Amino acid sequence: MTTAAARRFYGDALGLKLRAHDVAQGYCLFDAGNVELVVEAVPADAPEHDRALVGRFTGLSFRVPSVHVAHQDLLQRGVVFTAAPERQFWGGVLASFRDPDGNEFQIAQRP
């Protein structure tokens, strides 16, 4: 993903505030609340072990007050969901989505 694509998706679609970016170094830094999210470009000619990290489940969730409200908002912003909001056995609600490179994230609502 280029830094321009990262700014569009993570900044415009997800609504994260861009803190810094460097096209030459291939990264963007976003404010994600109490943490900073760094998105790095992985060039097509990168080693296979680096390219293998792209397009996978990340294990990262964004906590939101209401998954149903966030889901509708993100759909309107063009975010592609792989799983609709669903109540979990532990009482919370999750929905899964992908960035343009296929990296999968979740929005999560605590019980």
pTM: 0.88
Q: Beta strands 80-87 and 93-98: pairing type? A: antiparallel
- Calculate mean pLDDT across residues 56-68: 95
* Lookup result for tokens 């990264």: 27
Least confident of 16-20, 26-30, 55-59: 55-59
For residue 86, CA distances in Å to 4, 7, 49, 71 come to 32, 29, 33, 11
Q: Which CATH superfamily is domain 55-111 in?
A: 2,3-Dihydroxybiphenyl 1,2-Dioxygenase, domain 1 (3.10.180.10)
What is the mean pLDDT of the segment spanning 17-22? 96
- Provide the percentage of residues in the chain whose pLDDT is more than 70: 100
Mean pLDDT of 52-57: 89
Q: Where in the chain is the domain with CATH 3.10.180.10?
A: 55-111
